[in-house]
Amino acid sequence: MTLEVTQAIHKRSSCRLCNSSKLSAEIFLPETVIADHYSASPGHYVRKYPLDLFQCQDCGHVQTLDVLPLNLL
């Protein structure tokens, strides 16, 4: 498994199931906050994270490539 470190996020370069590097971007979604990590104060900044979906060209698995550290979840 190959990982690129960008701040607190790791971006995978291989499929989670078959480890292939043949991944294609399929659906681009807006960045979003982590589930239930909303701010009660209007105007308070809450960090958003990528949610784009990629498909493995070898096994067909659809997945996000951005991996967040467990302590953020």
pLDDT of residue 35: 78
Please state, rounded to an integer, the average pLDDT across all residues of the chain.
85
First to last CA, the chain: 22
Q: Taking the domains of the chain in order of start, what are their residue ranges?
A: 1-34+47-73
pTM here is 0.74
pLDDT of residue 64: 96
Radius of gyration of the chain (CA): 14
pLDDT of residue 3: 43
DSSP tag of 72: G
pLDDT < 50: residue spans in the chain: 1-6
